Amino acid sequence: MEVVTVTLRPFRAEDVPVLMDVFQEAYREHPEYGESTPQKVKRYLRWLQRHHTFFQVAEVDGEVAGFIVVDANWIDWHGERIGEIHELVVHPKFWGKSVARRLLEAGLDHIRAQGLKKAGLWVGEHNDRALAFYRRFGFRPVSWGYWVRMVKSL
């Protein structure tokens, strides 16, 4: 596995066009889990801008490689406040280069810093790459269907 130097920085409004491209490329293998049109991707990114406590963009040599969006004020099914990872996306050209690991670690650090003891996320049931990635970091499925709910104790 090639490891690259990843720099994280806060999301900026002018990032939207490049994040749309990163999102669409990342979901190309599983379009059923992404948004079907550029307009829907843009609308989803606007939603993420309103529902986060942590929105970081990963860059490699000045190029946007991915992003993570976390909401540490999310309330789960049981009425418990949880660190919800709304999105973690890496452009395919950066897969296997530790970009996702760096983003996830930063997101989990943010969740811990908010005093939370649990992180959660949803992943498509056929997205084997993502399921395996999250399992390596200790996330476990708690419900299974078209979307898999995964949680991790911190």
What would the pLDDT profile of 7-26 be if each residue is shown by its tens digit?
A: 999 999 999 999 999 999 99
User: What mean pLDDT do residues 41-48 have?
Assistant: 95
Q: Which helix (H) or strand (E) holds 150?
A: strand 147-153
Provide the CATH number for the domain formed by 7-116 in this structure. 3.40.630.30
Which residues make Cβ contacts (< 8 Å) with residue 3, sequence separation at least 6?
A: 97, 98
- Read off the pTM: 0.95
Which residue ranges make up each domain of the chain?
Answer: 7-116
